[in-house]
Chains A and B, each alone.
Chain A
Amino acid sequence: MNCTDCTARLHDYVDGELTASDVHTVETHLRTCANCRAQHEALRKLLATVAALPPEIAPERDLWRELRTEIEQPAVPAHQRSAAERGLTPPSIPRMVVIRWCVPLAIAASIALLAILLERSIASRGRDSAWSVATVAGAPRVGTRLVRHEAAFRVGQWLETDAASRAKVAVGRIGEVSVGPNSRLRLIDTESTNHRLELERGTLRALIWAPPRLFFVNTPSATAVDLGCAYTLAVDEDGNGELHVTSGYVALEDDARESIIRMGMMCLTRRGAGPGTPFASDAPEALRAALTRFDFERDTRPAALSAILALARADDAITLWHLLARTEHAERADVFDTLAKIAPPPAGVTRDGILAGDVAMRRMWAEHLGLATFAAR
């Protein structure tokens, strides 16, 4: 296969529309051709960006009132009624002349209008002092008020759902948060660089389409920092939490520790202990249990670490990388040796450097694993 053939098939390849033998041919070519590989990466990047587009765009104004009028007056065709109600007169110049000139102008004007509105949208991000809450089920409360359909959600107010209610919160213009039953959530800040909620208990699902580190959720045991992602976060009555990342990356932070959780991974938090070590959502139960003991039961840490290293799979490299910063001396050496077997360190990262706590080397390894871009510490 040459580059022309590969380029011609690249779209079908990423769309999964090639036969197995064609897939093999394309992949063989991609392994040897840097130019085609770059094209492939660019296409993948575009599709990933498209996949992150918000599924909903609320209209700029409430359309329900007009729609209701239309519904309640079904006898007259809608287009006739709206023309009559607006008092429009028939065009006095030939229709095609109007169309020939007006349609391109209308299209250009519409695109310009869209650009202006998007500019305003971008410029006004975070300026809103209140967000909005919409009822999804039951009767959530904002403060003491029941929310029948929609309500403003202001800084300092609590949003509460009972066992039968759910709500959706518009996070300014950068995302949305679905709030599950039995949840208690407070709006802390709406500044453009600090969209912040506090989840005291319950569950939420966040979908954020802003750049990283603009949206935060405080919990009693850690702060979830959006890094461009979709995730679910649950907090129990004791303030302990569990985070699942379904798209992109999230950081869980407290004063002492930071965990970076990638799509398909999860992480537990405990009040007083902070974020635990992230692990793959499909990790074996024995590995999960060993991590829980390591993170939250100090007395059993040595045995727990031995179990983790024995159970670690190729998919657990990110888990082990986190352990490099959470161990010392001989334990760190054991972690290094196990991680090096399943994900060898890149050039410039040495065993001695990692054992000495070289932060730059740890970051280089993280970058090699696809994490360093987001690591703040």
Chain B
Amino acid sequence: MTYVDRVATPLAFVVTEIPDDESAVIRRAQARDLAAFERLYRDHVGRVHAICLRMTANLTRAEELTQKAFLTAWQKLPHFRGESAFSSWLHRIAVNTVLADLRAENRRTQRVFNTDDPAVFEIPRTTPHVGIRLDLEQAIAALPVQARAVFVLHDVEGWQHDEIAKQLGVATGTSKAQLHRARKLLQEALQ
């Protein structure tokens, strides 16, 4: 086999997102092996924390929700059947954890989450710190709560509107309106 033939073959590690032995690690964690679960935690914590941080725009809450998501994953792991990728299963737990927290906070602050008026979710937007380039992460963090949640789920995480609407308890049209609003605000912020 010539060099060109050999290198033209797709690189196995490039297309394999999950390590070959992750299924073995999962089985050990399902058998309550904490060291195996730590391995899963270390492999996936960056992804879970990214979801939590982007959706809450709050470092402390993101850390708490990251821990909570992994705690839930540990508790539910014996029921994980491998019908989806472990990362997808964990990702879903993380999103559900954040959404439950957002709903709980919404109840605490007596705001009405189930509304078709995007302006209800407006919060005062902070002025960017002098000297900081207003980059995309900051602009996302400054979005109104629900617009941010819809934007992150749709444009960053790739969810569909009907799924987002179901999870947030709003109409599909509201999810779309929130997304369009978020994109408009981001475009303004990044100009």
Contacts and interface: CB of A to CB of B under 8 A. Distances in A.
Interface of A: 11-12, 42-43, 46-47, 49-50, 53-61, 63-64, 66-68, 70-72, 78, 96, 99-100, 103-104, 106-108, 110-119, 122, 134, 136-137, 149-150, 166, 178, 180-181, 203, 205, 232, 234, 236, 238, 240, 242, 244, 268, 288-289, 292
For A71, A178, A289, the residue with the greatest tally of chain B CB atoms inside 10 Å of its CB is A71
A104 B123 CA distance: 8
Contacts of A203: 11, 13-14
Contact of B43 (A49, A59, A136): A136
Contact of B4 (A42, A110, A149, A268): A268
B115 interface: no
Interface in B1-43: 3-4, 6-8, 11-14, 19-21, 34, 37-39, 41-43
A118 B47 contact: no
A59 B45 contact: yes
A71 B74 CA distance: 8
A193 B135 CA distance: 19
A280 to B, nearest CB: 13
B42 A149 contact: yes
Given A110-B58, A111-B141, A134-B42, A232 B11 contact: yes
Contact of B71 (A71, A112, A268): A71
A184 to B, nearest CB: 15
A122 B50 contact: no
Given A42-B187, A68-B38, A236-B3, A55 B50 contact: yes
B95 interface: no
A205 B57 contact: no
A367 B60 CA distance: 46
Contacts of A99: 108-109
Interface of B: 3-4, 6-8, 11-14, 19-21, 34, 37-39, 41-43, 45-47, 49-50, 53-54, 56-63, 66-68, 70-71, 74, 105, 108-110, 123-124, 126, 128-129, 131-133, 135-138, 141-142, 155-156, 176, 179-180, 183, 186-187, 190
B129 A108 contact: no
A221 to B, nearest CB: 12
Contact of B60 (A11, A57, A110, A240): A110
Contact of B183 (A11, A55, A122): A11
B141 A114 contact: yes
B138 A115 contact: yes
A59 B13 contact: no
Given A67-B41, A108-B124, A114-B141, A50 B57 contact: no
A99 B186 CA distance: 28
B135 A118 contact: yes
Contact of A112 (B42, B60, B129): B129
A227 B142 CA distance: 28
Contacts of B60: 110
A112 B59 CA distance: 11
A66 B123 contact: no
A5 to B, nearest CB: 15
Counting from the closest, the 7 A-B pairs by CB-CB distance are: A56-B46, A110-B58, A180-B13, A242-B7, A57-B50, A137-B19, A115-B129
A139 to B, nearest CB: 12
B50 to A, nearest CB: 4
Given A112-B126, A114-B59, 18 more contacts: A49-B190, A50-B136, A56-B47, A63-B70, A68-B34, A103-B105, A107-B58, A110-B61, A113-B59, A115-B129, A115-B138, A118-B138, A122-B132, A137-B19, A205-B14, A236-B3, A240-B7, A242-B8
Nearest to B183: A46
Contacts of A232: 11, 14
B78 to A, nearest CB: 13
A288 to B, nearest CB: 7
Nearest to B54: A57
Contacts of B141: 111, 114-115
A122 B134 CA distance: 11
Contacts of B131: 119
